Structure 1
């Protein structure tokens, strides 16, 4: 008796069946998503342009409710991408320590941000109420972090000047009271051979709780042609006991300095005084340290060719 074989399911039939199954599923999804639904969606809010003299409370609304009547594609767009709504507090009115932002007065802005049509949608809330506390204000001194390296033959008599040298800051009282100065961002200027005139930002890193009324300051410095001068100055020794016969060497040292070219001729050795204080000598030492105790105010980079002054005590 011949054996009957079971018919095999052809691969072509399986592919056809799978194609129509997927096609039917896609069509079903498209049909369902193209239908109109009404859904309540929470839209997160982001507060911008808060008044500098006010600190908004942490207990502020974090969303608005949007009643959306649209197809499934639009509804799932909001659920998947979760767009935020920017609330501009500079356009809110102030009432009893609260900032009140009336949503109905800004429907066109909300439509543009969220890409919705208010003919099909509705913001449930009429307004957003944000509690606030007044910030403390204070003027804080700005300290420059500007490193200047001058070209050969140039220098400056005065340090870099900032304008303004203080800025108004507002913030929580506890933080404001703990701060006396704020620095600029660090910049380095090389081979400077002309007057400085620029702006630099204030370094606000780590000070996010504070509001700065100015974010940058101007810096200035008069840069002039300088030359190097020198003068031989006798060394004075002070506070030597009367019964002590002290001999020391060298008796004089060379003072080197930089000075504005216009003032070079006005400097003489009489403008300097170099002193060693015998009281500062430590036991066992055979030298004293020379120090410049008098010099013209308008010179800089002052140095001695020799600071150690050797001495012996004669018997």
Structure 2
């Protein structure tokens, strides 16, 4: 029986090395050759005019014809660069924004890191269809939580400047919006006047363009003190002929007031009422509420809101 041929391990390693080396040389030779290839370069649009909405059918790429070695072409295919188109540099026709690529070759070269001696963009210009947006002024609603230090408060709520902003966008979206909120802001242990800037919360409103993206807020904060006044309870809407007895006859009204205005508070400025018509069947109490009070006091509360009553026969 003839012997099977055998190979030494050293010979197999040598053969494998030369095979691998030859393959590498072949790849390098092939990749060093010059090829012509068309590559799609994605585009994004910047500085879109606020009064215009770009059509969904707008071009999403330009075609770059490269005449280069395979290494560079492979790089552009794998690490596909993005071309930013500045629409503030486009011209306008009745239905399109026109961006002429030849007028911006140096900017494009810098962005894409290419040499136009070996490459060229096939398109001469980009036509971007648009529609005019509808404009509207909407109210800005603050979401600013102010927690005052002990003994401090404010007579007026937080003020915004401006308190409304102009927005533009597709008519269907514009018609559905009446206001926009600020981003949430929390201020703690406030003991002096506050002011600053807060951004608008445009979450979910990406179809709209805001002419102002932030507003200023302010509030006058002053030293406050707590006061109290004992006020008689007045019952209204009692049916004629009904003999009603109730208790307590008076309640204490607690309030906060600017320290400088403390002496101007008069008990005659308060009125506390119970409306008998609001009593539900089977109940033996009425709910007291502050009907009148000085305009400059805040945080008004009662020591007792349930007023018990009985009907005398």
TM-score range, shorter chain: over 0.9
Instruction: Give me the whole-angstrom Cα distance separating, in 2, the residues matched to 1:207 and 1:189.
Output: 26
Instruction: Give me the whole-angstrom Cα distance separating, in 2, the residues matched to 1:304 and 1:314.
Output: 27
RMSD: 1.2
Which residue of structure 1 lines up, in the alignment, with residue 198 of structure 2?
200
Which residue of structure 2 lines up, in the alignment, with residue 111 of structure 1?
109
| 1:1-315 map, 5 Å | 5-315=3-313
Residue 6 of structure 1 deviates from its aligned partner by 4.0
Instruction: Give me the whole-angstrom Cα distance separating, in 1, the residues matched to 2:127 and 2:5.
Output: 74
Residue 4 of structure 1 deviates from its aligned partner by 6.8
SS at match of 2:22: helix
Give structure 1 stretches of 5+ with no counterpart.
none
Instruction: Give me the whole-angstrom Cα distance separating, in 1, the residues matched to 2:4 and 2:20.
Output: 28
SS at match of 2:75: helix
For this pair of structures, how many residues does the alignment match? 313
Residue 5 of structure 1 deviates from its aligned partner by 4.4
CA change 1:110–1:243 in 2 (3 A) is: same
Instruction: Give me the whole-angstrom Cα distance separating, in 2, the residues matched to 1:80 and 1:242.
Output: 91
Instruction: Give me the whole-angstrom Cα distance separating, in 2, the residues matched to 1:129 and 1:239.
Output: 74
Instruction: Give me the whole-angstrom Cα distance separating, in 1, the residues matched to 2:56 and 2:282.
Output: 68
Instruction: Give me the whole-angstrom Cα distance separating, in 2, the residues matched to 1:104 and 1:17.
Output: 54
SS at match of 2:103: helix
Instruction: Give me the whole-angstrom Cα distance separating, in 1, the residues matched to 2:4 and 2:308.
Output: 119
Instruction: Give me the whole-angstrom Cα distance separating, in 1, the residues matched to 2:160 and 2:195.
Output: 10
Residue 241 of structure 1 deviates from its aligned partner by 2.4
Instruction: Give me the whole-angstrom Cα distance separating, in 2, the residues matched to 1:118 and 1:64.
Output: 15
Residue 266 of structure 1 deviates from its aligned partner by 0.2
Give structure 2 stretches of 5+ with no counterpart.
none
CA change 1:279–1:18 in 2 (3 A) is: same
What do the CA deviations read for 1:148-172 (whole angstroms, capped 9, x no partner)? 1111000000001111111110000
Residue 242 of structure 1 deviates from its aligned partner by 2.8
Instruction: Give me the whole-angstrom Cα distance separating, in 2, the residues matched to 1:184 and 1:239.
Output: 44
Which moves more between the two structures, 55-64 or 170-179? 55-64
Residue 7 of structure 1 deviates from its aligned partner by 4.3
Instruction: Give me the whole-angstrom Cα distance separating, in 2, the residues matched to 1:255 and 1:304.
Output: 5
Residue 39 of structure 1 deviates from its aligned partner by 1.7
Residue 182 of structure 1 deviates from its aligned partner by 0.5
TM-score in terms of structure 2 length: 0.97
Instruction: Give me the whole-angstrom Cα distance separating, in 2, the residues matched to 1:103 and 1:51.
Output: 19
TM-score in terms of structure 1 length: 0.97
